[in-house]
Structure 1
């Protein structure tokens, strides 16, 4: 049975990547219709001023530590987590698992060009991959129900939603009853990374908790408030909680 620990005003499941994938596959096999979420420093900051987002996240049956800051912060507050389980790594591992087990993923988000490139790349990597469908992430609010119905009709086992937070968390929550997808997760900018539009940090930076810094040095002016200001705010929350 998975262990869930308290972290500030939310929770995080103390799972490794392997344990997370086993849990997700159980949801898919049992057709549980589960919304998944990952948390990082930025999302924790958003949750301090968004009670509805906090409610949505805390109701998710599976919450992973996407950022190394969550692992460090949790340990500092007395709850040790086994490792960071990044959303983009869960995403790519689930695509691989889908090809091996015959699960059908649906890709939703980014531009037409990017999402098609993502699908083509994964099909090239995994010829046996059965894609339930895909579409871009640009739509009017009135189209949401039709999109959710189309996802339902596709027979998808897994849904990847590439929006920013908190839009992806809200959209999945609001449309889960219509889609009836066994497992749905938000993947943020992961489509852009897979498509080669943006670069991910080298492995050593990922493991040392510096992935945010790699993103920052690529666009320092645009990312200053998000990463420098945001990280300081997160540290203050941790110290206050301590």
Structure 2
């Protein structure tokens, strides 16, 4: 698979169709498949955080979630094919699970959020199997408490459900830390970090209207809705400036 490096962080040059196809293929194999869905903020963070950088580097598929990565890829001279957002990839995988009878497990959010998201997903996709759900408020690898009793119990609950696909919504980079630390302990074939997607599926948060999505301006919609996020949103222009300064060293063409 062709890759590009932005600020030294590898991103797969995949379309949504290709990303879904690779995941479907992984479901028929015995090997576990880890999907990371970084935006520009996470790539900027990974450029400075060796642990996160290593996790992304060894992931099985890294899709370009944010519009910042699409712009950044043009700056470094190897444009990405398209933006592949985590929530849209999740939606496509839910459709596949519905058609194929695969099961999913949802972990993350406040108490009751994953359960409510599962209920709404099941209402839309009648044939999909919700193997189980679990809230994200427990101590574990993602909070600096690896192998805690709470994490052990959460994994035991997941393993008893024995799902095909596990969607982890602990927020980046905590969800990546959790999956990386526990993937070999967990039952399941596909593991994917999905950020705040369960808040959207549960109805707690509204996703940006289509016009914002199509223009790659979901970040702007969130800023309008939640102005307190301004500091985090400032990471996008900083990211682009950093890419411009380092563009000569940022590109990597696969052999």
| TM-score, normalised by the number of residues in structure 1 | 0.95
Residue in 2 that maps onto 1:118: 117
* Structure 2: gaps (5+ residues): 141-147, 248-255
Residue number among 227, 231, 236 corresponding to 1:231 in the alignment: 236
Does structure 2 conserve the Cα–Cα contact (< 8 Å) formed by 1:118 and 1:194? yes
Q: Deviations over 1:75-134 (max 9, x none)?
A: 221112111000001111111111110111000011232212111111111111111111
SS at match of 1:185: strand
**Residue 203 (structure 2) pairs with residue 196 (structure 1):** yes
Q: Which one scores higher on RCO, CA 8 angstroms, separation ≥ 6?
A: 2
**Structure 1: 4+ residue segments shifted above 4 A:** none
* Displacement after TM superposition at 1:200 (Å): 1.3
* Displacement after TM superposition at 1:39 (Å): 1.5
Does structure 2 conserve the Cα–Cα contact (< 8 Å) formed by 1:149 and 1:178? no
* Count, aligned residues: 239
Residue in 2 that maps onto 1:38: 37
- What is the RMSD of the two structures over their aligned residues, measured on CA atoms? 1.2
* Structure 1: gaps (5+ residues): none
SS at match of 1:131: strand
SS at match of 2:183: helix
| TM-score, normalised by the number of residues in structure 2 | 0.90
Partners of 2:170 and 2:188 lie apart in 1 by 18
SS at match of 2:221: helix
Residue in 1 that maps onto 2:133: 134
Residue number among 161, 176, 185 corresponding to 1:169 in the alignment: 176
* Displacement after TM superposition at 1:212 (Å): 0.5
SS at match of 1:108: strand
Residue in 1 that maps onto 2:144: none
